[in-house]
């Protein structure tokens, strides 16, 4: 997989202006086709070697049509990254199971499994996004915003569980959520993008769940509070 490198003369600064948003249904559809085509090209070729002509071809459009909707390759990459981050952090496709509603461990397992499945399904693209985020402020801000949303919800959850004497009261909720979030993000990148080792998917989910539950110092099964709290936060 080709991955981008820190900005050089070949990676010009990303423009901050853009053509007007399309108003017609055809325009909206054409723009969406370009974004999906760009996703395929960036996932296949990486950022540096991706070409606007390839993006247009992937979308089934003429290269000149690209500039009706985007100013540059960099700009459309930002939109692809934003869309992928939304997919990564979207709510569950189905309501939590009864087991997830009744058990802290099951709720954590469900969240971890969903995150890793979505990351795995777009692992090549996530590798490109991870790399670009290290030198592009906008892409990095998108990544951080997704993580911040998770951290805020997790922090509130930990505080509530502490009040109910269900997890270790000595934990600093802010530090705990950011540390566990960093662990999850970095492990996903090393495993699913870098291919550090071959692991069984279910075993990874079980092990990461155990790490989180142990880190929280859970003292007893959690009843209903996790699901109710998630519903209030969404």
pLDDT value of position 20 = 54
Residue 106 makes CB contacts below 8 A (sequence gap 6+) with: 97, 99, 100
Q: pLDDT at residue 127 above 70?
A: yes
> pTM here?
0.77
pLDDT value of position 205 = 96
For residue 105, the domain's CATH number is 1.10.357.10
Outline where 164-200 has alpha helix (H): 173-188
pLDDT in tens, 143-175: 888 778 778 888 998 999 999 888 999 999 999
Residue 189 sits in the same domain as residue 120: yes
Report which of 106, 101, 112, 104 is spatially closest to residue 217, judged by C-alpha positions: 104
Calculate helix-pair angle for 73-89, 25-45, nearest 10 degrees: 90
Q: Tally helices (H) and strands (E) across the chain.
A: 11, 0
Task: Count structural domains, the chain.
Answer: 2
Domain end marker among 50, 80, 110: 80
Q: What is the mean pLDDT of residues 137-143?
A: 88
Q: What is the rounded (10 degree) CA torsion for 116, 122, 125, 129?
A: -30
Q: pLDDT at residue 68 above 80?
A: yes
pLDDT value of position 23 = 62
Kindly report the number of other CB atoms within 10 A of residue 27's CB atom.
14
pLDDT value of position 2 = 40
Domain end marker among 80, 104, 132: 80
Q: What is the mean pLDDT of the chain?
A: 83
Residue numbers of the domain that contains 21:
1-80
Q: Residue 168 carries which DSSP code? A: -
Residue 158 sits in the same domain as residue 197: yes
Domain end marker among 58, 80, 102: 80
Residue 169 sits in the same domain as residue 75: no
Report which of 78, 189, 52, 85 is spatially closest to residue 132, judged by C-alpha positions: 78
Give 198's pLDDT tier (boundaries 50, 70, 90).
Answer: very high
pLDDT value of position 26 = 85
> How far apart, in whole angstroms, are the C-alpha atoms of residue 86 and residue 74?
19
Q: Which of 183-187's residues contact partners 24+ apart within 8 Å by CB, and which partners?
A: 183/211, 184/112, 184/115, 184/208, 185/147
Within 13 A of 19's CA, how many CA atoms are on the CB side? 14
For residue 47, the domain's CATH number is 1.10.10.60
Token digits for 101? Answer: 């509603």
Residue 101 sits in the same domain as residue 212: yes
Token digits for 21? Answer: 């948003």
Question: pLDDT > 70: what percent of the chain?
Answer: 83
Q: pLDDT at residue 76 above 80?
A: yes
Within 13 A of 92's CA, how many CA atoms are on the CB side? 16
């Amino acid at each position: 997989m080709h991955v981008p490198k820190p900005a050089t003369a070949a990676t010009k600064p990303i423009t901050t202006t853009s053509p007007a948003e399309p108003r017609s249904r055809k325009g909206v559809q054409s723009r969406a086709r370009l974004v999906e085509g760009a996703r395929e090209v960036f996932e296949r070729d990486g950022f540096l070697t991706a070409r606007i002509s390839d993006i247009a071809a992937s979308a089934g459009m003429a290269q000149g049509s690209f500039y009706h909707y985007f100013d540059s390759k960099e700009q459309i990459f930002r939109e692809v990254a934003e869309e992928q981050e939304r997919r990564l952090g979207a709510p569950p496709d189905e309501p939590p199971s009864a087991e997830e509603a009744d058990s802290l461990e099951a709720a954590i397992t469900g969240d971890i499994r969903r995150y890793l499945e979505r990351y795995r399904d777009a692992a090549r693209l996530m590798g490109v996004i991870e790399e670009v985020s290290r030198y592009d402020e906008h892409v990095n801000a998108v990544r951080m915003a997704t993580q911040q949303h998770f951290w805020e919800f997790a922090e509130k959850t930990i505080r509530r569980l502490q009040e109910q004497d269900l997890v270790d009261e000595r934990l600093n909720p802010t530090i705990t959520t950011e540390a566990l979030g960093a662990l999850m993000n970095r492990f996903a990148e090393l495993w699913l993008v870098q291919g550090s080792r071959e692991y069984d998917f279910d075993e990874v989910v079980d092990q990461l769940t155990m790490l989180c539950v142990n880190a929280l110092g859970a003292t007893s099964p959690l009843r209903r509070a996790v699901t109710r709290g998630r519903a209030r936060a969404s």
